[in-house]
Protein backbone atom coordinates (compact mmCIF):
# COMPACT_ATOMS: atom_id res chain seq x y z
CA UNK A 1 0.00 0.00 0.00
CA UNK A 2 2.83 2.36 0.84
CA UNK A 3 4.50 1.69 -2.51
CA UNK A 4 1.23 2.50 -4.34
CA UNK A 5 0.93 5.75 -2.37
CA UNK A 6 4.58 6.60 -3.14
CA UNK A 7 4.01 5.93 -6.87
CA UNK A 8 0.88 8.14 -6.86
CA UNK A 9 2.82 10.92 -5.12
CA UNK A 10 5.69 10.63 -7.63
CA UNK A 11 3.26 10.67 -10.58
CA UNK A 12 1.49 13.70 -9.11
CA UNK A 13 4.82 15.48 -8.62
CA UNK A 14 5.87 14.61 -12.19
CA UNK A 15 2.52 15.89 -13.52
CA UNK A 16 2.87 19.16 -11.61
CA UNK A 17 6.43 19.57 -12.86
CA UNK A 18 5.33 18.94 -16.44
CA UNK A 19 2.45 21.44 -16.09
CA UNK A 20 4.82 24.05 -14.65
CA UNK A 21 7.38 23.59 -17.48
CA UNK A 22 4.66 23.83 -20.14
CA UNK A 23 3.25 27.00 -18.58
CA UNK A 24 6.74 28.57 -18.57
CA UNK A 25 7.23 27.67 -22.23
CA UNK A 26 3.83 29.11 -23.18
CA UNK A 27 4.63 32.32 -21.29
CA UNK A 28 7.95 32.66 -23.14
CA UNK A 29 6.24 32.08 -26.50
CA UNK A 30 3.62 34.70 -25.65
CA UNK A 31 6.34 37.19 -24.63
CA UNK A 32 8.25 36.53 -27.89
CA UNK A 33 5.06 36.94 -29.94
CA UNK A 34 4.32 40.25 -28.19
CA UNK A 35 7.86 41.46 -28.95
CA UNK A 36 7.35 40.64 -32.64
CA UNK A 37 3.98 42.41 -32.85
CA UNK A 38 4.59 45.39 -30.57
CA UNK A 39 5.88 48.63 -32.16
CA UNK A 40 9.59 49.38 -31.79
CA UNK A 41 9.03 53.12 -31.77
CA UNK A 42 6.10 55.54 -31.58
CA UNK A 43 6.57 59.26 -32.24
CA UNK A 44 4.02 62.03 -31.84
CA UNK A 45 4.32 65.45 -33.53
CA UNK A 46 7.83 64.93 -34.86
CA UNK A 47 10.17 66.25 -37.55
CA UNK A 48 13.04 64.19 -38.96
CA UNK A 49 15.69 64.91 -41.60
CA UNK A 50 17.21 62.30 -43.92
CA UNK A 51 20.71 62.87 -45.28
CA UNK A 52 22.16 61.24 -48.40
CA UNK A 53 25.47 59.33 -48.47
CA UNK A 54 27.45 62.59 -48.66
CA UNK A 55 25.71 64.06 -45.61
CA UNK A 56 23.58 66.46 -47.66
CA UNK A 57 19.97 67.01 -46.57
CA UNK A 58 17.71 64.99 -48.88
CA UNK A 59 14.30 65.43 -47.28
CA UNK A 60 12.55 66.34 -44.06
CA UNK A 61 9.49 64.54 -42.81
CA UNK A 62 7.03 65.74 -40.21
CA UNK A 63 3.75 64.23 -39.04
CA UNK A 64 1.46 63.98 -36.04
CA UNK A 65 1.97 60.21 -35.62
CA UNK A 66 4.60 57.59 -36.59
CA UNK A 67 4.87 53.89 -35.71
CA UNK A 68 7.97 51.81 -36.48
CA UNK A 69 7.22 48.08 -36.60
CA UNK A 70 9.67 45.19 -36.18
CA UNK A 71 10.77 42.93 -39.04
CA UNK A 72 9.82 43.90 -42.59
CA UNK A 73 6.73 45.94 -41.72
CA UNK A 74 8.59 49.24 -41.89
CA UNK A 75 7.27 52.58 -40.66
CA UNK A 76 3.67 53.82 -40.85
CA UNK A 77 2.98 57.55 -40.76
CA UNK A 78 -0.27 59.48 -40.44
CA UNK A 79 -0.66 62.76 -42.37
CA UNK A 80 2.97 63.04 -43.51
CA UNK A 81 4.42 66.32 -44.75
CA UNK A 82 7.65 65.88 -46.75
CA UNK A 83 9.98 68.52 -48.12
CA UNK A 84 12.39 67.30 -50.82
CA UNK A 85 15.54 69.39 -51.19
CA UNK A 86 17.74 70.18 -54.14
CA UNK A 87 21.44 70.25 -53.25
CA UNK A 88 20.47 70.16 -49.57
CA UNK A 89 19.35 73.80 -49.51
CA UNK A 90 16.56 74.63 -51.92
CA UNK A 91 13.07 73.33 -51.09
CA UNK A 92 12.16 71.70 -54.39
CA UNK A 93 8.94 69.82 -53.48
CA UNK A 94 6.45 69.87 -50.63
CA UNK A 95 4.37 66.70 -50.45
CA UNK A 96 1.32 66.04 -48.26
CA UNK A 97 -0.68 62.82 -47.96
CA UNK A 98 -3.13 61.06 -45.67
CA UNK A 99 -0.82 58.09 -44.98
CA UNK A 100 2.74 56.99 -45.73
CA UNK A 101 4.80 53.84 -45.39
CA UNK A 102 8.60 53.73 -45.35
CA UNK A 103 10.34 50.42 -46.04
CA UNK A 104 12.62 49.09 -43.33
CA UNK A 105 15.68 49.74 -45.53
CA UNK A 106 14.37 53.30 -46.17
CA UNK A 107 14.76 52.89 -49.94
CA UNK A 108 11.03 53.32 -50.61
CA UNK A 109 8.51 55.86 -49.34
CA UNK A 110 4.91 55.12 -50.35
CA UNK A 111 2.47 58.01 -49.95
CA UNK A 112 -1.29 57.28 -50.05
CA UNK A 113 -4.66 59.00 -49.69
CA UNK A 114 -5.00 62.36 -51.42
CA UNK A 115 -1.34 62.95 -52.29
CA UNK A 116 -0.55 66.57 -53.15
CA UNK A 117 2.93 67.49 -54.38
CA UNK A 118 3.83 71.15 -54.98
CA UNK A 119 7.05 72.07 -56.77
CA UNK A 120 8.70 75.25 -55.51
CA UNK A 121 10.85 76.01 -58.52
CA UNK A 122 11.85 79.51 -57.43
CA UNK A 123 10.33 80.81 -60.67
CA UNK A 124 6.51 81.18 -60.52
CA UNK A 125 6.30 80.25 -64.21
CA UNK A 126 7.86 76.85 -63.40
CA UNK A 127 5.52 76.03 -60.51
CA UNK A 128 3.81 72.64 -60.67
CA UNK A 129 1.22 70.84 -58.54
CA UNK A 130 0.55 67.10 -58.78
CA UNK A 131 -2.51 65.43 -57.25
CA UNK A 132 -2.96 61.65 -57.17
CA UNK A 133 -4.16 58.88 -54.86
CA UNK A 134 -0.71 57.32 -54.31
CA UNK A 135 2.90 58.13 -55.06
CA UNK A 136 6.13 56.18 -54.53
CA UNK A 137 9.34 58.09 -53.82
CA UNK A 138 12.74 56.39 -53.96
CA UNK A 139 15.28 58.65 -52.20
CA UNK A 140 18.37 56.81 -53.44
CA UNK A 141 17.35 57.16 -57.12
CA UNK A 142 15.52 60.49 -56.60
CA UNK A 143 12.51 59.11 -58.52
CA UNK A 144 8.74 59.38 -58.09
CA UNK A 145 6.17 57.04 -59.65
CA UNK A 146 2.51 56.09 -59.63
CA UNK A 147 0.18 53.99 -61.77
CA UNK A 148 -2.89 55.88 -60.50
CA UNK A 149 -4.73 58.74 -62.24
CA UNK A 150 -2.81 62.03 -61.99
CA UNK A 151 -3.86 65.68 -62.26
CA UNK A 152 -1.07 68.20 -62.88
CA UNK A 153 -1.59 71.96 -62.64
CA UNK A 154 0.89 74.56 -63.86
CA UNK A 155 0.60 78.36 -64.27
CA UNK A 156 -0.99 78.33 -67.73
CA UNK A 157 -2.89 75.07 -67.79
CA UNK A 158 -3.36 71.56 -66.54
CA UNK A 159 -2.90 67.93 -67.61
CA UNK A 160 -4.59 64.70 -66.65
CA UNK A 161 -3.32 61.20 -67.26
CA UNK A 162 -2.84 57.76 -65.82
CA UNK A 163 0.56 56.88 -64.39
CA UNK A 164 3.55 59.11 -63.77
CA UNK A 165 7.30 58.63 -63.72
CA UNK A 166 9.65 61.37 -62.66
CA UNK A 167 13.29 62.12 -61.97
CA UNK A 168 13.24 64.63 -59.10
CA UNK A 169 16.85 65.80 -59.35
CA UNK A 170 16.46 66.48 -63.11
CA UNK A 171 12.91 67.88 -62.76
CA UNK A 172 11.71 65.60 -65.57
CA UNK A 173 8.16 64.16 -65.25
CA UNK A 174 6.19 62.01 -67.72
CA UNK A 175 2.51 61.06 -67.74
CA UNK A 176 2.22 57.49 -69.07
CA UNK A 177 -1.22 57.13 -70.70
CA UNK A 178 -4.65 58.67 -71.34
CA UNK A 179 -3.06 62.12 -71.33
CA UNK A 180 -5.30 65.15 -71.82
CA UNK A 181 -4.30 68.74 -71.34
CA UNK A 182 -5.47 72.32 -71.33
CA UNK A 183 -3.06 75.17 -72.05
CA UNK A 184 -3.63 78.92 -72.19
CA UNK A 185 -0.75 80.90 -73.68
CA UNK A 186 0.41 83.76 -71.46
CA UNK A 187 -0.56 87.24 -72.69
154 DSSP β-pair partners: 157
Is 3.40.640.10 the CATH number for 41-183? no
Write the pLDDT tens digit of every residue in 148-182: 999 999 888 999 999 999 998 788 889 999 989 98
CA distance 60 to 81: 8
CA distance 146 to 163: 5
Residue 135 · residue 111 · CB < 8 Å: yes
Handedness of CA 34, 40, 46, 52 (dihedral sign): negative
Q: What is the pLDDT of residue 186?
A: 77
Per-domain boundaries in the chain: 1-38, 41-183
| Helical residues (DSSP H) of the chain, grouped into ranges | 2-37
Q: Which residues contact 23 (CB under 8 A, 6 or more apart)?
A: none
Write the pLDDT tens digit of every residue in 42-55: 999 999 998 888 88
Q: Is the pLDDT of residue 15 over 70?
A: no
pTM: 0.73
| pLDDT band at 121; cut points 50, 70, 90 | low
Q: What is the pLDDT of residue 109?
A: 92
Amino acid sequence: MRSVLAIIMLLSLAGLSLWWLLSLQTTRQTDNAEQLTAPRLILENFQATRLNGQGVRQYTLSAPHLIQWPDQRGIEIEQPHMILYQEGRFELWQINAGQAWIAEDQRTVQLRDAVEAIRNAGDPAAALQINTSDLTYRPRDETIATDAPVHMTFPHGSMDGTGLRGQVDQQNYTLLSAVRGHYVAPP
